Structure 1
Amino acid sequence: MSRLYLSLGSNINRYQNMTAALDALADHYGELLISPVYESAAVGFSGDAFLNNVVAIDTDLNLAAVAAQLKQIEADNGRLRNGEKFSGRTLDIDILTCDDWVGNFAGIELPREEILYNAYVLKPLADIAPLQCHPLVGRSYQQLWSEYDASRQPLRAVEFRWHQRLLPLPESD
């Protein structure tokens, strides 16, 4: 059984698409560990603000099979792959880590580089896996977040309901 951390993001029909993503992930993988949801400005292009969070799943599937399921979930929620790389998204689901794997697996570079550079990935990852260490730099996500200049990419925690429950808001830093 492997533990994968996934980043989720949407800036088109944000609440609807994030809810649909969580529903589909729960259908495929069972119980989810879900971070708080944050709003952040678009990075790399001008566009509407994103909702982002991180979800942990446990699975016996190989990485290629998981990646295929995630692409299908994105497609089921209107994700088009023929657009510009940096543009609005109905839904974006990226595999951040798989256990402590380092390298290229099934065409996926692990750990995902953006963990270290984007607040909307690092902060929610630190929320649900604070003591887990980044497999390349060897420091915990909590430590990496405490060293991160959060003024570069401001985040705003937002209330988000999924299955009649309010997802947790982050503890103050």
Structure 2
Amino acid sequence: MNKVFLGIGGNIGDKRQNFIHVLNLIEIKLGKIIQKSSVYETPPWGFRSEDAFWNQVLIIETKLEAEELLWRIREIETDFGRERGNERYSSREMDIDILYFNDDFLESKDLIIPHPRIHERRFVLIPLVEIAPEMKHPLRRLTSIEMLENCLDQSVIKKIEMG
């Protein structure tokens, strides 16, 4: 079994319902969710939008290899109306990023693992610290806590009560 950390997030539509729906789809199409962080409200990163994002980090166990996992993630994102265009960052109902895949390093045309911007994003690091504070980044050799302490992003991150 592969142990995978996923970052999920979205800023449009019914965010609460989108999170419930995406967690179900992840369990059906990707693998068993073994741990999940709280959900956090965060400002958009890399672009301007009036709509705040909700973000969460999940740990799943999957039999899928990295490339197959990516293709299934893209199917789920398409179910949420995501269209892959030229814009790197944009508003969306749901975005799913592979943060870590075991302790593997992978670089292909479509996929870089570990995610190349984990250490730059408080909206990833805060939930990551919540569920895996001592996890070491396989390339940077820093724990989640150490990356958060070194992060230059000063975005205000607020925990959401999902009820």
Structure 1 and Structure 2 fold alike (TM over 0.5): yes
Contact 1:54-1:125 at 8 Å conserved across structures? yes
Change (3 A) 1:106 1:67: farther
Give the residue type in structure 1 aligned to 2:135.
Q
Contact 2:41-2:160 at 8 Å conserved across structures? yes
TM-score (ref. length: structure 2) = 0.90
Q: 1-side partners of 2:57 and 2:73: how far apart?
A: 14
The reply to whether residue 11 of structure 1 matches residue 11 of structure 2 is yes
**Which consecutive residues of structure 2, in runs of 5 or more, have no partner in the other structure?**
none
TM-score (ref. length: structure 1) = 0.85
Return the match for 1:79 from 69, 79, 82: 82
Any idea what the Cα deviations from partners look like across 1:27-83, whole Å, max 9, x if unmatched?
A: 231233111111011112111100001111111211111111111111111212236
1:136 maps to what in 2?
139
Contact 1:63-1:105 at 8 Å conserved across structures? no
Q: Aligned to 1:113, what secondary structure does the other structure show? A: coil
Counting only pairs closer than 5 Å after superposition, residues 25-104 of structure 1 correspond to structure 2 as 25-28=26-29, 29-47=31-49, 48-82=51-85, 84-104=87-107
Change (3 A) 1:31 1:88: closer
The range that moved more, 11-20 or 87-96, is 11-20
Give the residue type in structure 1 aligned to 2:4.
L
Q: 1-side partners of 2:85 and 2:112: how far apart?
A: 21
1:166 maps to what in 2?
none
2:2 maps to what in 1?
2
Q: Percent identity at matched positions?
A: 31
RMSD: 1.7
Counting only pairs closer than 5 Å after superposition, residues 116-127 of structure 1 correspond to structure 2 as 116-127=119-130
Change (3 A) 1:31 1:103: closer
Q: 2-side partners of 1:32 and 1:22: how far apart?
A: 12
Q: CA deviation at 1:149?
A: 4.8
Q: How many residues align?
A: 160
Runs of 4+ in 1 over 4 A off after TM superposition: none
